[in-house]
Structure 1
Amino acid sequence: MVRKHSESSCSSEDCQDHEEYTLSDDAVVTKYQVAAEITNVVLKVIFSLTIFTFSCFFFQEVIANVKDGAAVGDLCDLGDKLIQEKTGMLYKKDKNMTKGIAMPTCISVDNCICHFTPLRSEAPVILKDGQVVKIDLGTHIDGLIATAAHTVVVGASKDNKVTGKIADLLCGTYDALEIAIRSLRPETFNYDITNRIDQVAAEYGVTPVENMLSHQLERNEIEGAKNIIQNSGEKKRGEVEKVKIEKHEAWAIDVLFTTGKGQTKETNTRTTVFRKDERVSYQLKMKASRVFLHDVNKQHGPMPFSLRGFEEEVKAKMGVVECEKNGLLVPYPVLYEKEGEFVAQFKATVLVMPNGLLKIAGLPLDSEVYKSKFSVKDEILQKILASALKPKKKKVAKKPVPAANGQQKE
């Protein structure tokens, strides 16, 4: 028997817990920032975009592998391992605090749109020079989530610049992300941001991938109550409620553009990423399924996870079937564009604060490597793109202080 709980129902303890974890609390903001710092560091390690202080072993390992000949699965392992190691070093005194992977490392190549993290038993996917590589991952501290995604071209460098349609794709996607972030102002409607994302794509001659969502982040909820959709058809647009951005909200802004038509499809690629649906309960029949779900609860809780992370792959593949079939798990299928096209993805985590916006997770695009012939031309979009995340404080002129003798004192 399947029982779905009402989304609006919660125990008094749960509701009280939800109220305590708001961005009006400095401790909550700090945990978001710590999670974001780990997310950013791991992305930097995988892409080797900058020099930074880190273990020589890991740095050398990445330098040796992130290039033509790198195995996607090995890089997925590296990303997940680093997140687990770095979160494991924090808040050790609080034994009840959960922390770790909020989104398993997914590496999607060329026309693969998202959620690709292969099993070890599958044939290895090897990177080649010139391929467009998207890495998506996330970290949580105490259920507070920071996710990010970044796109690079294998072999690209300052001495080997990227131009043409792939550069147009990456630059357009990144500019759309920055405009969407700067649009997260209180009282702005989500569909205003949708329109701006779609407009940037048109200016760069590329297409937003259909119906991709940016999600509000809540504690233990990677897909919160509010959403921003891109390139929505009329039917899908009606499914996303029109809402306003408000102060003290956390958002994962996720923009995906393509050189193709933007239509997604599933192939025979196995889905390996799932998350538990906390609203559903079901009495599993198979022992393998019960053991698997117990391990999911213990290791991942409500966060997305990959079957790649389980030591006994065969048992995990057996256990996941009954769980997914009966709605206990939400699948993240591997999606594709048309063969021969390319997809870029940039994602950032942003906190909407009373004094402005905090972009805490997400890496900058290397403008010295990726050179597009296009740029944002619309004056309104230009103004948004040039705007500061935090408005500059206006200087208040000091009033002259009257002197004792009646003369004014500067």
Structure 2
Amino acid sequence: MYDEYIKAGQIASKVRKSATKRITSGMKVIDLIEWVEEEIRKNGAGLAFPCNISINDITSHYTSPPSDDTVFCNGDIVKIDLGTHVDGYIADTAVTVIVEGDNIEIDNNTSMPGRLDNGNPEVTTSDLEERVELIEAARNALECAISIIRDGITLSDISSQLEETIINQGFNPISDLTGHSLARYNLHSGLQIPPVSTGDTHTLHEGDVVAIEPFVTSGVGLVETLPQHYIYSYLRERPFGESEASKLLKHIQENNLHFPFAKRYFLDLYDEDKLNHVMHPLITSRAIFPYKLLKEASGAMNAQCEHTIIVEKEGCIVTTL
């Protein structure tokens, strides 16, 4: 078991580090996402979830839909969140970067669902300085939390450490985005580890596996749910007769039973318009669950850092360093 967790973590770390070197202004988001996902497979792991790329005030749950024209712009603060698994044993990791390079001219008619602005945003020196500080605050909070993890620590101890570190650096934790426990074939296996103190006395023990992922913002520290959704997970069997919806649900059961998936995964079965039509009854019947796009509620910039950790008697193993 440990060997699989370690291998998944090593692959996730390698791909994460390489992804930060590839991102540049003018690059399409879908090109980076597809590169990340292909690199994970080439290195011998499976996808624990679609690669998430969340720009500026978007916090999470964005992955490219088919035909995504979203591009990165100079000064964007971008969360890259990726997950791998080896035989069901998961590594979940994230990093935040600031995009550099020359912006390209963007057609006003271009559809960019991965941005909540129209592209080419004006970013001042003061803006950039704050974004650098946000990333540093998230990184410091994660490191401080990791430093205290050991057998016998409570979830509240970890949450309090995250909260104190973030606030002392002049920012707010996003309280409703939490770390979580991991299990084989189970990305969110029951425990939640928020970046604010909750008084949760649940104790971690040697061998437990958790992902710690503080989100840091200059805003109110809450998320707002948007109507768009691009990531899904299987929930249950539903009767659809001999329809295309039934065929797609069977395909999901056979290929995406345990881990979240994206619409992009099914473009070899249907074109984009047909795919939207076929997926609609799966969503409305709750055969599959849509993860709606999340943004910081006050529209503020935010940063995320994340590692996967195996608890030991006197410390922990960080699998995704």
Gaps of 5+ in 1: 1-27, 49-61, 88-98, 363-410
Larger Rg: 1
Deviation at 1:283, TM superposition (A): 2.4
8 Å Cα contact 1:107-1:114 kept in structure 2: yes
Aligned to 2:262: 306
CA distance in 2, matches of 1:130, 1:141: 35
Q: Secondary structure at the match of 1:182?
A: helix
Q: TM-score, normalization: structure 1?
A: 0.67
CA distance in 2, matches of 1:163, 1:187: 40
CA distance in 1, matches of 2:274, 2:150: 47
Aligned to 1:35: 8
Aligned to 2:111: none
8 Å Cα contact 2:15-2:40 kept in structure 1: yes
Q: Secondary structure at the match of 1:271?
A: strand
8 Å Cα contact 2:147-2:315 kept in structure 1: no
Call closer, same or farther: CA 1:315–1:41 in 2, change over 3 Å.
farther
Gaps of 5+ in 2: 102-124
Call closer, same or farther: CA 1:354–1:210 in 2, change over 3 Å.
closer
Deviation at 1:309, TM superposition (A): 2.3
CA distance in 2, matches of 1:227, 1:212: 9
Cα deviations by residue, 1:106-137 (Å, 9 ceiling, x for unpaired): 11111010111121234x11111111011001
8 Å Cα contact 1:291-1:319 kept in structure 2: no
CA distance in 2, matches of 1:83, 1:298: 20
CA distance in 1, matches of 2:226, 2:213: 23
State the one-letter code of the partner of 1:121: S
Aligned to 1:403: none
Call closer, same or farther: CA 1:324–1:84 in 2, change over 3 Å.
same
2:219 equivalent to 1:254? no
Q: Secondary structure at the match of 2:7?
A: helix
Call closer, same or farther: CA 1:286–1:117 in 2, change over 3 Å.
farther
CA distance in 2, matches of 1:116, 1:187: 35
Aligned to 1:323: 282
Deviation at 1:190, TM superposition (A): 0.7
The count of aligned residue pairs is 295
Aligned partner of 2:59 among 113, 119, 128: 113
Aligned to 2:147: 182
Cα deviations by residue, 1:314-341 (Å, 9 ceiling, x for unpaired): 3432333322333332332210125752
CA distance in 1, matches of 2:4, 2:60: 27
2:219 equivalent to 1:274? no
Deviation at 1:264, TM superposition (A): 1.1
Aligned to 1:136: 81
State the one-letter code of the partner of 2:215: L
8 Å Cα contact 1:293-1:319 kept in structure 2: no
State the one-letter code of the partner of 2:74: D
CA distance in 1, matches of 2:249, 2:202: 35
Q: Secondary structure at the match of 2:229?
A: coil
Aligned partner of 2:50 among 97, 100, 104: 104
8 Å Cα contact 1:145-1:222 kept in structure 2: yes
8 Å Cα contact 1:284-1:323 kept in structure 2: no
CA distance in 2, matches of 1:347, 1:334: 19
State the one-letter code of the partner of 1:77: E
8 Å Cα contact 2:214-2:306 kept in structure 1: yes
Call closer, same or farther: CA 1:202–1:42 in 2, change over 3 Å.
same
State the one-letter code of the partner of 2:10: E
Cα deviations by residue, 1:247-300 (Å, 9 ceiling, x for unpaired): 1111111111111111211234x21111223xx443235722222222222222
CA distance in 1, matches of 2:309, 2:164: 21
TM alignment of 1:4-403, pairs within 5 A:
28-48=1-21, 62=22, 66-87=23-44, 100-122=46-68, 124-155=69-100, 164-231=129-196, 242-268=201-227, 270-277=228-235, 280-285=236-241, 287-311=243-267, 312=270, 313-338=272-297, 341-354=300-313, 356-362=315-321
* Deviating 4+ runs (over 4 angstroms): none
Call closer, same or farther: CA 1:323–1:183 in 2, change over 3 Å.
farther
8 Å Cα contact 1:220-1:303 kept in structure 2: yes
CA distance in 1, matches of 2:242, 2:79: 37
Cα deviations by residue, 1:57-112 (Å, 9 ceiling, x for unpaired): xxxxx4xxx2110111111111111112222xxxxxxxxxxx51002111111101
CA distance in 2, matches of 1:42, 1:207: 29
State the one-letter code of the partner of 1:181: I
Deviation at 1:342, TM superposition (A): 0.7
C-alpha RMSD of matched pairs (Å): 2.4
Cα deviations by residue, 1:137-168 (Å, 9 ceiling, x for unpaired): 11101110001000011129xxx9x9632222
Q: TM-score, normalization: structure 2?
A: 0.84
Deviation at 1:244, TM superposition (A): 0.8
